[in-house]
Amino acid sequence: METEFTPLVSLAGGLLIGLASVLLMAARGRVFGATGILAGFLSPSSSTDWAWRAALLAGMVTGPLVYLAFAGDFPAIEVPVSKAMMIVGGLIVGVGVTYGSGCTSGHGVCGMARLSPRSIVATLTFMLFTGITVYVVRHVLGM
Amino acid sequence: MKLIATYLIGLVFGVGISISGMSNPAKVLNFFDVAGTWDPSLAFVMGGALLVAFFGYKLVLKRPAPIFEPVFNVPTSRVIDARLLGGSAVFGVGWGIAGFCPGGALPALGTGNVDVLVFTAALVAGIFLAKGLMAASARRQAAAA
């Protein structure tokens, strides 16, 4: 499935993701890692810790609705893989980000922006393995 | 007030993800499919986010404390171990299979899309599975010591 190259809107989205990360650091002194925020929301250490995570997640989930209000449609979600691959992929992502202490937002944006050696190594590692996996799935297995 | 501000910060992130294409598995997988239907858009997402975060953090972290909290609470570990490398490699495999990462999927829950719900449920199950495995191995190590 081909997708259109969208450098300007993708850049604009990236600038907003970066802005949200900076604002969360300025307001609460935390990195904006989706994995860490979700894990802390699911297993909170206190009610105040849970409350800010819930507020942040509520804001994140409202994002597509604001997008809908301006663009007239939800952001495109085109899924070229099966439900089974969604389940298997989701499970594997959950295990990986927990052991690896972060994902694209936590390591890839916040950690790399702080020049954290851990995050730079983590990001290079998961990008490499995502690339290998996509190659194997599409060009070796032909799925 | 603090929670409303936090909600709005989450909203900025959610709008950014929605615009960027990070919650579109077809676009995400095409970014990695250099040998096939390559779409380099996501490099611009990463570039834009890093540009703002790099300079923004420099300004913010000069301040003595965040606005709502007494201290900054940023990760300080510099250990590069098998857990970090293995976990990141496993995450990469899962991202390559499904096309969703946690930051791309969570805002997309707001669309009510079924694939996002399925992925997120599996993601949550995977997080609890890993936490259970980590707790079990910690208990074994404590028992052996």
CB pairs under 8 A between A and B: 501
Closest alpha carbon within chain A to B106: A61
* Cα distance between residue B6 and residue B79, in whole Å: 30
Between the CA atoms of B90, B93, B99 and B105, what dihedral angle is there, to the nearest 10 degrees?
A: -10
Cβ of B45 and A20 within 8 Å? Answer: no
Cβ of A99 and B19 within 8 Å? Answer: no
| Amino acid B47: pLDDT | 98
B124 residue type, one letter: V
| Amino acid B145: pLDDT | 77
Cβ of A108 and B46 within 8 Å? Answer: yes
Boundaries of every domain in chain B: 2-144
Q: Tell me which residues of chain B have a pLDDT lower than 50.
A: none
User: Kindly report the CA angle at B140 between B131 and A125, in degrees rounded to 5?
Assistant: 45
Print pLDDT tens along chain A (143 aa).
899 999 999 999 999 999 999 999 999 999 999 999 999 999 999 999 999 999 999 999 999 999 999 999 999 999 999 999 999 999 999 999 999 999 999 999 999 999 999 999 999 999 999 999 999 999 999 98
| Amino acid A143: pLDDT | 86
If you average pLDDT over every residue of chain B, what do you get? 97
State the angle between helix axes of B41-60 and B25-32 in degrees (0 to 180), rounded to the nearest 10. Answer: 100
CB B45 within 8 Å of CB A13 = yes
Cα B2 → chain centroid: 23
| Amino acid A66: pLDDT | 98
CB A126 within 8 Å of CB B85 = no
Boundaries of every domain in chain A: 7-140
ipTM higher than threshold 0.95? yes
Residues 6+ apart with CB under 8 A from B142: none
